[in-house]
Structure 1
Amino acid sequence: MSSLKRPIELLAPARDCEAVVAAVDYGADAVYIGGARFGARHAAANDAAQIARAVEYARRYGVRVYATLNTLLRDDELEEAERQARELIGAGVDALIVQDMALRRMNLPVELHASTQVHTLTPGHAQFLERCGFARVILERAMSLDEIRAVCAATSAEVECFVHGAICVGYSGRCFLSRSMGPRSGNRGECAQPCRLAWDLTDGRGRTYLAGKHLLSLRDMNLSARLGELMDAGVSSFKIEGRLKEIGYIRNVVAWYRRAVDEALASRPELCRASVGRSVPDFAPDPSKSFTRGESEYYFDGRRAGVASFDTPKAVGEYVGRVASVGARDFVLDRASDLAPGDGICFGGAGTNVNAAEGRRVVPNRMEGVVPGAEVYRNYDHRFSQQVARSRTRRTIGVRAEFAVEAGRAAVRYVDCEGLAAEASCGGDFAPARDAVKMEATLREQLSRSGDTIFRVEEVAGTGAERFVPVSVLAALRREGLERLAALRASRVPEHRILPEDPAARYPGVRLTEADNVTNRLAEAFYCDHGVTEIEPPLELARETTGRCVMRTAYCLRRELGECLKRNPRLAGELWLERDRFRYRLEFDCARCEMCLIDEKESICRSC
């Protein structure tokens, strides 16, 4: 890779070391994984030894490993958080992804990335984070291409954005909906995902407009068709969401995006891939066949309707047709399909399995919910899932083999695609071969083999092919040379951007609200040192959320329903979301095109 080219990174999630291996094998340039504590996915925790193994595997391909340490910290947790950060650094991670500015103040010898939980939306905020020593900023998911372009133009820090997976309906790091309904907090890595629940839309006084709909549940993101535009805007890292996803999802989605990234890079010679190695999956990747709530580009082209999934928060999958007619135990689609026994299908909020299928006729396990006109989706493709599970895709690095044979010495040198080289040689009596042509063919055949190594020999050339070298000697030289090259690759320490904090940097504002979540003394000192003069007590540590805004979001329910206040809506009065005893009044900020949920449930002592 030329240092003059800007590297582009495909960043994959990993629940554990096994998922890291899958992400690397199927083409990721970097992976992110949680440590034992303080990660935004509490259920995806790993100790330092596991992460060290992941780093060892990834490093052979130049793949970087980032550890998530991106929850808010209390004062009594600072010492433990620093201890864990240093353990992760000792395990070899290339960067820490952090939310709490306390970690900026711990003098950690590691590259720092500002998590999406930091809620970076503006060029000014990105500039501030860069000056404070963050090598990378990870953007909020609700941004448009124009907004992303403006941030990239304003900072020399790397910019990372999500391109695939689940979307948090609330602004990242600023959502308290889960905490307002129980003890589990999204800012502590334990979100209960109440946004995926069914809610009633009411006027707050007994009238219900919509009942039992998933009014806050968004479709999943898929920007695979827009990667070239993001590259041109200045984005360096494309992030796939899903640290809780299973191996099949990782294999399929990473393989899909590997191909999409490579296609975009092919027409942009000023850019290059951030790691090395070729992955050729032994199945045709298709993200619609892995978990998806339906695809959306969210607000990439600006804020608009059509991003929610009111009927179900579960996997929808791929569209297969509409029910044309219904029998006693089967139904007929309006088109031919490749449905097969064992597939999972859904229609509206219902779902079942396929017992038999032929052409347009389908025999489901249950007929509940099957009515003429219903749209049918396949949310589980049994044959595809088996194919992915059985996949044995390997990632290989291209090398050139160079041989040199003399009367008393034979040597083999392997050079990889980055110019790294390793040599193996031995002494001996290498007399002229009886058949030089055959000997040269043997040399090329033996030295082009790579076995189960990480290498793929693409070229063999050299001198002395007219001398006889036993096959056993060639095999030993080949094995030793490739082992030395693999060790050389594994021993390389990647370049890190460990940057200082500029004490003259000024935060873009002098006041932090309760939603900005300054929850410990180190974070408070950080902001005060950078010009903040007023810091409200954090909502995250408040005993009650009643009467407070517990979610601010770019998603607007009025817009989604065609009831925008700027367009003479039929529902002109107050709107509320209600579920059991939980009630949230909706406020609409039309100037900023945002919605806010105000907690209006009865005050309950959180210590009871």
Structure 2
Amino acid sequence: MLFFQILEEMKLVELLAPAGSREALVAAVENGANAIYLAGNAFGARAYANNFDREELREAIHFAHLRNVAIHVTVNTIVADEELEPLKDYLRFLYEAGADAILVQDLGVAKVAHETVPDLPLHASTQMSVSSIEGVRALAELGFTRAVLAREMSLKEIRSICAHSPIEIETFMHGALCVCYSGQCLMSSMIGGRSGNRGRCAQPCRLPYTLVDEKGQDVLGDKAGSYLLSPRDLSTIDVIPDLIEAGVSSLKIEGRMKRPEYVATVVRTYREAIDTHYAGKGYAVTQEERDDLAQIFNRDFTVAYLKGRPGKAMMSDRRPNNRGLLIGRVTAYDWDERVVTVKLSGRLGLGDQVDFWVKVGGRVTATIDALKNAQGREVSEGEVGDIVSFAIPSAVRDHDRVFKVYDARLMERAKETYASGAPVRRIPVTIAVHAAIGEPLTVTIADNEGHKAEGQTDFIGEPARKRPLSEDVIRKQVSRLGTSVYEMTSLSCDIEGEVMVPMSEINEARRKAVEALDELRLAEIETREHRPEPQFKDSKERPVPRHATFLVAVATLAQVKAALAAGADGILFGGDSYDHHVITAEEYEKAWQMAKEAGARIDFNTPRIVHDGQQKHLETLLAAFAAFPPDAVHVHNIGTLALVRRLTDFAIHADYSLISFNKQTLAFLKDYGVAGATLSPELTAKEIRKLATETDLPLACIVHGRLELMVSEYCVTGSFLGGCGEGPCSQPCTRGHFALKDRKDALFPLAMDQFCHMHVLNSKTLSMLPHAMKFRPAGIATLQIEAKAMGEKEITAIIKAYKKAMSFPAEPAEAQLAWIHEQEGKDITRGHYFRGVL
């Protein structure tokens, strides 16, 4: 039985490590990872990592399996239609190569995987934004064997989900954090064309922003840094026992873009922490271990939401990149020689690199090529309390802080674990040797998992003339396991008579036995459990929603009134409010009555993010809706989809954040009982036209409004103005409107919903007004207008404009185009309709 199967049976937590390169893979394995997640050259959410081609993937799986380490392959991007056939081929390859599981985000990819490789375990990526037991159970019914929870979960929530989950639960324990719920971010895509959902995030969250009010005034000043969307790095080294005792199956380190030394250091540290917990001798973390984690890379550390909402304490607002480890302060600077003197609070050695955080002009960086002590003698290193001096390229001032951002000794120690070519962590084996005159010599190797293999010499033992074979000679030869993964722990020799066998023959028998043992260990992985078939238990007959050309998404009754007065034939009401207001059942009923009186379709929206603690509120609303049934309920994640499907008979519409990017996803949704879908705003007009011909599911496209670029558990106004994390938030969002201003003075409005989620809206308004008349002929049933961020007058004007534009020809006349552009205004975007995404 392979070790990762033993882990499951003994209920030991899996240490899951990243590998973006062969070196990182070896570093992870040799430092104690139980499983590795990595990607091939396509379909992985870190497209800019080195990743692995097919031959490298085979070698990686072979390397890991020999060492009792599982390989999970990320296939967690959304996939275009033209990629579906290559995807099938890739999945077959992964299955045949022996991958232990695949991680997916796209429900269409999950469908393809189940049809193509039904025995390959399926893990739900954190990109699926799973934040409730409802979502986990839905995934289990769909054949998933593991769910990676959203990183916004608390320990209490994780513990509850693990206690009720029918499948394995995986959580992150260390590494970079996304400020947005993973899988819900369009910021990189809409600003720069690089889609996070396609593995090409440009990390706009790590850029500087200013928080401004409606007058454009900076409301923070020097109370905060400029990196208001840049979280610190996650570090759970102090709560490892809590995560293990919560029932988590796998603890995951983020970092497929990180260098192998990072992987080696972080894996080693957490391996020691996990083993210490299981040893039961009292959990403790040494200062050296803390320093190693901080030294190898940090933006300062946080436990994120594990213990509550941390507010600004979660953010690295002063610096978005590695800050290293504080190791001293400047005591003097020689302007003529450009030599700095530093009093050390940490070790500094040759080859290290330091950053000075200067008061004026940013930072100064220097590599330590030569180091002198207080007496002026050259030294190789300085310790805590020492005063040292060295050359730097730019001026610094007294009391400037000095951070070590590269530790040569730590890097060398990490490199030793993966760069030598010989295994560091070996598998213990026992070896038995039998030799006799007239027989081949036999070497038998056995591991502690029940595998036993042997190799024999071609040479037949002869009577010895001078030096008969002895145990010492045999021990010297068979213990030479070299670059194999094995280490001899005991030897038994059965030598009959004074026999002679050449050393080369003994070595060959040993080699054969090692190869045979390799084959036995690798063969075991070929036995796979069949993944359960997806369960579509819902047999309820659901109504077919009435047709609506325009569906206007709003969140207030005043907006409903304005939209209906302007002639909207469809209203999408509720879900997330944009003003921190809890939308009540009475308001849903009033919106329903207003729509019915106007003869318009009325759909009810649901929140994009629903945790277990918020689900009761949603369940209460769904129960109330029975008295005033909507034409459809819009859902945004797999958990809410399953909940509405389970509790109601309403028609269900999959909105844009439950991403529909290909025909297989649409096929899945139809099979699951969904009545319609809003297509992903990352699709082009050409892709949309093609998709519409390949499904009979009624489709909608967002044609106008400020798209949500992020939805975040973190609120910048509450964190820096409202005291969130230090006590109850004073809710500054209810006393004014705020926006984030970027380096180019673009303003991204902020909206805070009833659950204190922050929604970052696009700086530009999506407008397809010049092309409104082209959607219906292309097979799109409904044009969806996102109007929650609009005032009533703007809603009225834009609906009237679209209704008029629908009467124009496909190629409007010059006067008509001039009128359209006047209605649109200047600050607009066509989104991805004509440019697509990378």
TM-score, with structure 1 as normaliser: 0.88
Residue 61 of structure 1, aligned match among 67, 70, 91: 67
The match for 2:135 among 125, 129, 134 is 125
Instruction: Show the counterpart of 1:302.
Output: 308
Alpha-carbon separation, structure 2, partners of 1:304 and 1:464: 69
CA positional deviation for 1:200: 1.0
DSSP 3-state at the match of 2:273: helix
Equivalent residues of 1:515, 1:539 under 8 A apart: no
| Residue 588 (str. 1) matches residue 752 (str. 2) | yes
RMSD over aligned CA atoms reads 3.1
Show the counterpart of 1:563. Answer: 722
The equivalent residue for 2:522 is: 490
Cα distance in 1 between the residues matched to 2:43 and 2:364: 37
2:328 is the counterpart of 1:321: yes
- Name which of structure 1's ranges 401-410 and 208-217 shifts more when overlaid on structure 2: 401-410
Partner of 2:407: 381
Read off the aligned partner of 1:337 and give its amino acid letter.
G
User: Is 496-505 or 450-459 further displaced after alignment?
Assistant: 496-505
State yes or no: 1:13 paired with 2:26. no
Query: How far did 1:468 drift?
Result: 4.5
Match of 1:37 in 2: 42
> Hey, what does 2:431 align to over in structure 1?
401
Separation in structure 2 between the aligned mates of residue 248 and residue 59 of structure 1, nearest angstrom: 22
CA distance in 2, matches of 1:16, 1:266: 32
TM-superposed deviation, 1:461: 2.6
Residue in 1 that maps onto 2:33 = 28
CA contact (8 A) 1:49 1:91 kept: no
Q: Secondary structure at the match of 1:395?
A: coil
SS at 1:12 equivalent: strand
Aligned to 2:829, the other structure's residue is in SS state: coil
Q: 1:197 to 1:545 in 2, by over 3 A?
A: farther
How big is the shift at 1:35? 2.2
Match of 2:569 in 1: none
List per-residue Cα deviations over 1:369-427 (Å, max 9, x = no partner).
Answer: x4444433211123433443455363311101123445644433211121111123457
Which stretch of the first structure deviates more once superposed, 404-413 or 237-246?
Answer: 404-413
What letter corresponds to residue 197 of structure 2 in structure 1? Answer: N
Superposed, 1:60-139 pairs within 5 Å as 60-106=66-112, 107-109=115-117, 110-139=120-149
TM-superposed deviation, 1:102: 0.8
Which residue does 1:480 correspond to in 2? 512
Q: Distance in 2 between matches of 1:551 and 1:105?
A: 27
Equivalent in 146, 149, 152 of residue 159 of structure 2: 149
Please state whether the residue corresponding to 1:68 is helix, strand or coil: strand
CA contact under 8 A between 2:437 and 2:496: conserved in structure 1?
A: no
Deviation at 1:489, TM superposition (A): 2.2
- Alpha-carbon distance, 1:340 to partner: 3.0
CA shift in 2, pair 1:77/1:435, >3 Å: closer
C-alpha contact 2:708 2:760 (8 A) present in aligned 1:
yes
Query: Is the 2:718–2:729 Cα contact (8 Å) retained in structure 1?
Result: no
- Measure, in 1, the Cα distance between the counterparts of 2:53 and 2:177: 27
Residue number in structure 1 paired with 2:451: 420
Equivalent of 1:200, from 188, 210, 220?
210
Q: Does 1:538 align with 2:568?
A: no
Corresponding residue of 1:271:
none
Other-structure match for 1:508? 643
- Further displaced range: 478-487 or 103-112: 478-487
Residue equivalent to 2:737? 574
1:300 partner letter: L
- CA–CA separation in structure 2 for the residues paired with 1:177 and 1:407: 77
Pair 1:224-2:237 in alignment:
yes
Distance 1:95 1:569 in 2: 44
* Runs of 5+ consecutive residues of structure 1 not aligned to the other structure: 269-282
CA contact (8 A) 2:339 2:392 kept: no
Instruction: Give the Å deviation of 1:534.
Output: 4.9
Secondary structure of 1:577 counterpart: strand
CA offsets, 1:311-356, max 9 Å, x none?
1111111121344555544555454432234422224452411445
Alignment partner of 1:461 out of 492, 496, 499: 492
| Higher RCO (CA 8 Å, separation ≥ 6 residues) | 1
Q: 2:760 aligns with which of 577, 597, 600?
A: 597
Write out per-residue CA displacement over residues 227-283 of structure 1, whole angstroms, 9 at most, x where no aligned residue.
332222121222121222222222222222332333333349xxxxxxxxxxxxxx9
Partner of 2:176: 166
Alpha-carbon distance between aligned partners in 2 of 1:284 and 1:173, rounded to the nearest angstrom: 31
Letter aligned with residue 597 of structure 1: V
Deviates more, 1:311-320 or 1:425-434: 425-434
Distance 2:85 2:392 in 1: 55
Larger displacement relative to structure 2 (416-425 or 347-356): 347-356
State the alpha-carbon separation in 2 of the partners of residues 534 and 204 from structure 1: 38
Q: Does 1:175 align with 2:207?
A: no
Higher helix share: 2
Q: Name 1:439's counterpart in structure 2.
A: 470
Per the TM alignment, residue 57 of structure 1 is displaced from its structure 2 partner at its CA by 1.8
Name 1:277's counterpart in structure 2.
none
Structure possessing the higher radius of gyration over alpha carbons: 2
Q: Is the 8 A contact 1:397 1:456 kept in 2?
A: yes
Contact 1:126 1:154 in 2 (8 A): no
Displacement of 1:533 in angstroms is: 4.1
Give the one of 198, 201, 209 matched to 1:188.
Answer: 198
Q: Percent identity?
A: 31
What is the alpha-carbon distance in structure 1 between the residues aligned to residue 527 and residue 461 of structure 2?
A: 45
Give the stretch that moved more between structures: 540-549 or 592-601. 540-549
Residue 105 (structure 1) shift: 1.9
1:164, distance to aligned residue in structure 2 (A): 1.4
CA contact (8 A) 2:212 2:741 kept: yes
Counterparts of residues 249-268 of structure 1 (less than 5 Å):
249-267=262-280
Q: Name which of 332, 338, 346 aligns with 1:337.
A: 346
- How far did 1:367 drift? 4.0
* Structure 2 length-normalised TM: 0.65
Partner-residue secondary structure (3-state), 1:492: helix
Give the drift of 1:523.
1.5
Please give the secondary structure, in 1, of the residue aligned with 2:828.
coil
